Chains A and B, each alone.
Chain A
């Protein structure tokens, strides 16, 4: 945990880790007995596959064009159920009983005659690294810039830095595919200052950002590099910029050169003492399995966090699976949990000075504590928050500010959707 320095006249700066040793190789985690996929949509209607069906590794499941998933393992579908994710999002969970040996599905390999765009939209929407290709189909003409980020959003997480460092050849192939799909768009490869790629990548600009948290958050990147401020309530792609992680692009390269869909995710495991290790795991592998292989003990009352220390999300079960966007799993000892208090804001202004989005946090928290979510959004810039968590990190009153803001956003959206329903 990075503590406040003794001399703290200026606002704190948290720097991203920069990988210097190229020897860090991810540990290969063997296949688990059970795997689970979390699909990003509610369970309404048939999935095109049912409990007891056999699936092969890399098999495209689902009968509709836009609604499909790729089976990460060979085995049988054990269960399909509805589940709820962060911010009350309704999701679908598909569990698999895994056979010991992978039997690859050949549909993707056999689709070589189709165009890159068709193959990507039909098969590669769930690559490890969670590429958001939604902007490919919908508002593709509006898109002007594609960012490929060789840096992770949160601190201590180095998954994408590792890929940027060790998988340059695949990354280059992936960039070529990205260029083919997004013909004539500007493609920018984002790296932290002081890091250069191994070689030139044709048709790709390289831009460097200071390695200071939270510079690699999309809205900050857009403001700094494109000088575009994304208005509140608007997504980055609606303003003409799409974001892909280095891992997703590297996997795109692998998919086209090998003819099979990559299903292994690289994750950073952040241990209780703050040290990190890398693991290469099959999508859907439960966290418990990874910890068992790595010999990490999880005790009662510990926290298992998907993501990093400042903006991660706690998982409720050790059986939670690795998803396409799980860049890190962090285990925090119960004793290391930061303080939380119900104290009042003392108006010291630390949060205001540290906020990258210039939100008047000291005023906002007073409204949120009193459940005035509508006014918080209207007059106190609640929706400008980019969700970096720095406010809670610096608060001397130990107010869970970030939690309050997310609750505020959730309640605000809920009230608005109710209004729309009842209108």
Chain B
């Protein structure tokens, strides 16, 4: 009798709005698909090979670490697949298999799991992996060399390298709309800018990423490039060129917005985005690398805990 009406105890709230991390990750994967599928269409089966290998090996690495650390498997939350997909999207279609697997190892194990898994990584795991790959296998990530066998109908030069070596006079010939539509060499999922914008807008409207970060990141690139361009138009490319080339768009919508390594308060989000955008253009224009997004965002990840201290005063807090 007593047992029949045994009640369950719990703490409020007794409602939940139904938002789950798993759903968020799968939605980000869906948002990344237009650009990824366009990449497969541009670069063919080798691109599919790289993406498939990146996604599957990332999931296997995470499962192995789960087993090794005697923790329940976490690959169902979609984060490992997402990391694999995003890393694959940065790589050229000709990336050798061992480099892809090494990349996902760095992303999952060094970038995420050793800190305690999802939510504990101080840096964006994909960018950590890409930075290590850049330093380790420089030639493989030279898009001009890697994609030399492709016959294309547009200027067969990675735009940012062309900018670095030949200056804005050469890259001025690139058609901006063509660049946005994917008429450029680069990472599998990073060339089709329009797809990235559509995916990013979807994530913003659904509330899965913070629009403040994406927009301020793009604004940071635009403003800094504009200042350079105004100061020396013969030396520095136009701001719009910077927006549609390299990893600018994929960085703004998919990397700068990674939850764990980005701020959550309004002013810090704006500072973080602007800083990342400005650093990107500084590296591209006067730094050693043609592309700056990866290192710029990693640098902003590092200062994230510091800028996120700028927050509104809590109710009733004595100064």
Please judge, given known A-B contacts A6-B206, A232-B317, A386-B315, whether A346 and B5 are in contact too, CB under 8 Å. Answer: no
Q: Is B24 at the interface (CB under 8 A from chain A)?
A: yes
User: Chain B contacts of A64 at CB under 8 A?
Assistant: none
B1-59 residues at the A interface, CB under 8 angstroms: 3-21, 23-24
- Chain A residues whose CB sits within 8 angstroms of the CB of B8 once the complex forms: 301-303, 314, 334, 337
- Digit string of A111-127 for contact with B (CB within 8 Å is 1, else 0)? 00000000000000000
- Give the size category of B's interface with A: 35 or more
Cβ contacts under 8 Å, A309 to chain B: 12-15
Contact A1 B16 (CB under 8 A): yes
Measured between beta carbons, the chain A residues less than 8 angstroms from B262 are 347
B264 — which chain A residues lie within 8 A by C-beta? 347-349, 352-353, 362
Other-chain residue from B13, B120, B263, B314 in contact with A384 (beta carbon distance below 8 A)? B314
**Residue A21 lies at the interface, judged by CB distance under 8 Å to chain B:** no
| Cβ–Cβ contact B17 & A393, under 8 A | yes
Contact with B18, one of A3, A304, A362 (Cβ below 8 angstroms): A3
Interface residue ranges of B107-161 to A (CB < 8 Å): 116-120
Distance A310 CA – B116 CA, assembled complex (angstroms): 31
B313 within 8 A of A: yes
Q: Mark A151-167, 1 if CB is under 8 A from B, else 0.
A: 00000000000000000
Compute how far the CA of A312 lies from the CA of B15 in the bound complex, rounded to whole angstroms: 11
User: Contact between A343 and B16 (Cβ–Cβ < 8 Å)?
Assistant: no
**CB–CB B7/A343 < 8 A:** no
**B318: Cβ under 8 A from any A Cβ:** yes
**CB–CB A392/B315 < 8 A:** no
Chain B residue numbers with a CB within 8 Å of A356 are 315
Given contacts A2-B17, A339-B16, contact A316 B7 (CB under 8 A): yes
Contacts of B7 in A (CB 8 A): 298, 301-304, 314-318
Residues of A close to B315: CB separation below 8 A: 219, 223, 229-230, 356-359, 384, 386
Whether a CB of chain A sits under 8 angstroms from the CB of B211 is yes
A12 cross-chain contacts in B, Cβ below 8 A: 17
How many pairs of A and B residues are in contact by the CB < 8 Å rule? 182
Assess whether B207 is interfacial by the CB under 8 Å rule: yes
Tell whether A300 is near chain B: CB-to-CB under 8 Å. yes
Give chain A nearest CB distance to B19 CB in angstroms: 4
Give chain A residues whose Cβ lies under 8 Å from the Cβ of B15: 1-2, 309-310, 338, 393
A285 within 8 A of B: no
Check A338/B13 contact, CB under 8 A, given A4-B18, A343-B21: yes
**B260/A301 in contact, CB under 8 A:** no
Give the chain A neighbours of B314 by CB distance below 8 A: 357-360, 381, 384
Q: Does A8 sit at the interface, judged by CB under 8 A?
A: yes
Q: What chain B residues lie within 8 Å of A338 (beta carbons)?
A: 13-16
- CB atoms of B11 and A350 under 8 A apart: no
With A300-B5, A317-B7, A346-B118 as contacts: A4 and B17 at CB distance below 8 Å: yes
The yes or no answer to B232 lying at the interface (CB within 8 A) is no
B259 within 8 A of A: yes
Closest to A305 in B: B14
Q: Is A330 an interface residue (CB 8 A)?
A: yes
Does residue A398 face the partner (Cβ distance < 8 Å to B)? yes
Is B164 engaged at the interface, CB distance under 8 Å to the other chain? no
B118 near A343 with CB under 8 A, answer: yes
Q: In chain B, what residue has the closest Cβ to A339? A: B16
Is there contact, CB below 8 Å, between A389 and B12? Answer: yes
Some 23 contacts from A to B, beta carbons below 8 A apart, are A2-B15, A3-B17, A219-B315, A223-B315, A299-B4, A299-B5, A302-B8, A303-B10, A309-B14, A310-B14, A311-B12, A314-B8, A330-B14, A338-B14, A339-B20, A343-B21, A344-B119, A348-B259, A348-B264, A349-B259, A356-B315, A384-B316, A384-B317
Given A9-B204, A393-B17, output 19 extra A-B contacts at Cβ < 8 Å: A4-B18, A219-B315, A223-B315, A231-B318, A301-B7, A307-B12, A309-B15, A310-B14, A311-B13, A312-B14, A314-B8, A332-B14, A352-B311, A356-B315, A358-B315, A359-B314, A384-B317, A390-B13, A392-B13
Q: Which 9 residue pairs are nearest across A and B when measured between Cβ atoms?
A: A349-B264, A8-B207, A338-B16, A381-B314, A403-B11, A389-B13, A357-B315, A346-B119, A384-B314
Chain A residues near B (Cβ < 8 Å): 1-4, 6-9, 12, 219, 223, 229-232, 234, 288, 298-305, 307, 309-318, 330, 332, 334, 337-340, 343-350, 352-353, 356-360, 362, 381, 383-384, 386, 389-390, 392-398, 400, 402-403, 406
